[in-house]
Amino acid sequence: MKNFFRDLGYSIKTFFQGRYGSDMLSWTLIIAGLIISMGSGYVKAEVVSKILTIMSFAMICFALYRTYSKNIEARQKELAAFKHAFSGPINSIKMISLKKKDPEHLYVKCPNCKTILRVPKGKGRIIITCPKCQNKVELKS
Ligand SMILES: [Zn+2]
Distance 107 CA to ligand 1 centre (A): 13
* pLDDT class of 42 with cuts at 50, 70, 90: very high
pTM of structure: 0.65
Give the per-residue pLDDT at 26: 96
Instruction: Give me the count of residues in the chain.
Output: 141
Distance 71 CA to ligand 1 centre (A): 29
122 phi-psi bin (left φ>0, alpha ψ -120 to 50, beta other): left
Domains in the chain: boundaries: 1-70, 91-141
The residues that bridge with 86 in the sheet, in sequence order, are none
DSSP state of 119: E
What is the arithmetic mean of pLDDT over 103-117?
Answer: 89
Distance 139 CA to ligand 1 centre (A): 14
What is the arithmetic mean of pLDDT over 6-34?
Answer: 90
CA dihedral 59, 64, 69, 71 (to 10 degrees): 30
Residues lining ion ligand 1 (Cβ < 5 A) are 110, 112-113, 115, 130, 132-133, 135
- Contact between 29 and 16 under an 8 Å Cβ cutoff? The reply is no
